[in-house]
Amino acid sequence: MRAWASLTVVMLCGLTWAGNLESCTSRCNEEFDRDATCQCDHQCPEHGDCCEDYAELCTAEEEPVELVSIPGLDDEPAVHSLYGAPGSCRGRCREAFDAHHACHCDDRCRELGNCCRDFDSLCSDHGGFSHSSDGITKEELRSISEKIYEVDANKAQKEDIILNPQNRIPPSETGDQVDRCPELLFTYVNEKLFSKPTYAAFIQLLNNYQRATGHSERFSTQQLAEQDTFLREVMKTAVMRHLYSFLHHQNRYSSEQEFVDDLKNMWFGLYSRGNGEGDSSGFEHVFSGEVKKGKVTGFHNWIRFYLQEKEGLVDYYSHVYDGPWDSYPDVLAMQFNWDGYYKEVGSAFIGSSPEFEFALYTLCFIARPGKTCQLSLGGYPLSIQTYTWDKTTYGSRKKYIATAYIVSSTQ
């Protein structure tokens, strides 16, 4: 329960004026206001103290927080925020409860359900906090991610891709929208990769979406069949077989068919990010990319990037991070223009198979939904952030994938 102070009202000429404190007009996503009679912050649905017009005025504007943490770059700040976080535990682990804060980092926040979104990633090893309540341990996540990395037989080999990263910039300059790289990012890609069944099925899906949010998606019978084909092909791979086996032994799924059905719902199920009904999905956002309010959102896939760059629709601007891997898959965090719309920081695996990305993002969404998920690939640490779509659900109130992307290569 939040602490409340009485609303101060001003009497002017016999009229009672309460300012804007009973409405969310011009208050969406503000911090908790103890002087207001109702709230418009991200936590108000959880606390049940939203203003009556919160849903109408604020929820249509919400977008999952997207952070790219790129440490060790010329001593620049480690976290670059694209949308602005509703609250953070940075420097606040185990602090005393403070009703003024929109979210909390104290000993009881898990019990009360009011932790900040980055509580587990920042505070889990701080003063006795642990991930034990999540069921899947950090050690198990590292082990299964290494196994997935090991068995990815369809990944690109060194000779399959010639990458030209060119200029790296500090995170402080990502908002400049300056093209510092006159040449293409991909000098060469062996397109024989794309004839492999999982690649071919994946590429068929990329053009099934309208990238602008607010426009309802309408899938043809053929496009729905393409979703099934993709799921069928990836489930034939050792990558997805190992993932299913791991989740089965964790008692998350009782059968492979149950797993596949859930994959289809969580990734391809439609929900609304804009004014349309069913204008977005996890797959569209993460792999194909979207445009909302004049900005690129999602778009975290190297195959999509290469194909769009080849068509002259993507202009690579610069990068802020190039991963430590000396083979594929590697990681790049970059800036680019997509047919007139800018992506300030977009992280992506480079040279990975479609099933590899699909498996790791799925693993993290299931094991650490809405949290930072710490993995290990080829002996190097890597973290993935996922967010759930909280406005609508499927099945037994299960949540769709809002987004998933790489946030860090250090732990």
How do beta strands 372-377 and 341-350 pair? Answer: unpaired
Place of tokens 């202009």: 315
Cis peptide before 171 (omega within 30 of 0): no
**What letter represents residue 165's amino acid?**
P
The rounded percent of the chain whose pLDDT value lies above 70 is: 80
Average pLDDT for the chain: 83
Domains in the chain: ranges and CATH: 1-62 (4.10.410.20), 138-408 (no CATH)
SS3 per-residue string spanning the chain = CCCCCCCCCEEECCEEECCCCCCCCCCCCCCCCCCCCCECCCCHHHHCCECCCHHHHCHHHCCCCCEEECCCCCCCCCEEECCCCCCCCCCCCCCCCCCCCCCECCCCHHHHCCECCCHHHHHCCCCCCCCHHHCCCHHHHHHHHHHHHHCCCCCCCHHHEEECCCCECCHHHHHHCCCCCCCCCEEEECHHHHHCHHHHHHHHHHCCCCCECCCCCCCCHHHHHHHHHHHHHHCCCHHHHHHHHHHHHCCCCCCHHHHHHHHHHHHHCCECCCCCCCCECHHHHHHHCEEECCEEECCCEHHHHHHHHHCCCEEEEEEEEECCCCCCCEEEEEEEEECCEEEEEEEEEECCCHHHHHHHHHHHHHHCCCCEEEEEECCEEEEEEEEEEEEEEECCCEEEEEEEEEEECCC
List 80, 343, 371, 399, catalytic entry: 343
Task: Identify the CA nearest to 152 among candidates 350, 325, 357.
Answer: 357
- Specify the higher pLDDT residue, 3 or 189: 189
Phi, psi of 116 (to 5 degrees): -65, 155
Q: Please write the tens of the pLDDT for every residue from 101-156.
A: 778 887 777 767 788 877 777 776 544 333 333 589 999 999 999 999 999 999 99
pLDDT at residue 21, as a whole number: 55
Question: How far apart are the C-alpha atoms of 1 and 290, rounded to whole Å?
Answer: 38
Per-residue pLDDT at 52 exceeds 50: yes
Tokens of 100: 């003024």
At a CB cut-off of 8 Å and minimum separation 6, what does 293 contact?
none
Measured distance between the N- and C-terminal CA atoms of the chain, rounded to whole angstroms: 34
Region 371-393: what's the mean pLDDT? 94
Mean pLDDT calculated for residue range 13-36: 59
Q: Say yes or no to pLDDT of 263 above 80.
A: yes
- Maximum separation of any 2 CA atoms in the chain, in Å: 80
- Tell me, yes or no, if 147 is annotated catalytic: no
Please say whether the dihedral angle defined by the alpha carbons of residues 93, 94, 95 and 99, taken in this order, is positive or negative.
Answer: positive
The residue from 285, 292, 319, 371 that is catalytic is 285
Identify the active-site residue in 138, 300, 371, 399.
Answer: 300
What are the tens digits of pLDDT across the range 155-175? 999 999 999 999 999 999 999
**211 within 8 A of 289, measured Cβ to Cβ:** yes
| Tokens 């991200």, located at residue | 42
Q: Torsion angle, CA of 338/343/348/354, rounded to 10 degrees? A: -40
Question: 47 an active-site residue?
Answer: no
- Please report, rounded to a whole number, the percentage of residues in the chain having pLDDT higher than 90: 60
Q: How far apart are CA 388 and CA 21, in angstroms?
A: 29
Q: Give yes or no for residue 4 having a pLDDT over 60.
A: no
Arithmetic mean of pLDDT, 304-331 = 97
d(CA 290, CA 341): 10
For residue 198, which of 258, 238, 254 has the smallest C-alpha distance? 238
User: Among this protein's residues, is 285 annotated catalytic?
Assistant: yes
Instruction: Indicate the length of the chain as a whole number.
Output: 411
Residue of 86, 78, 77, 128 lying closest to 104 (CA atoms): 86
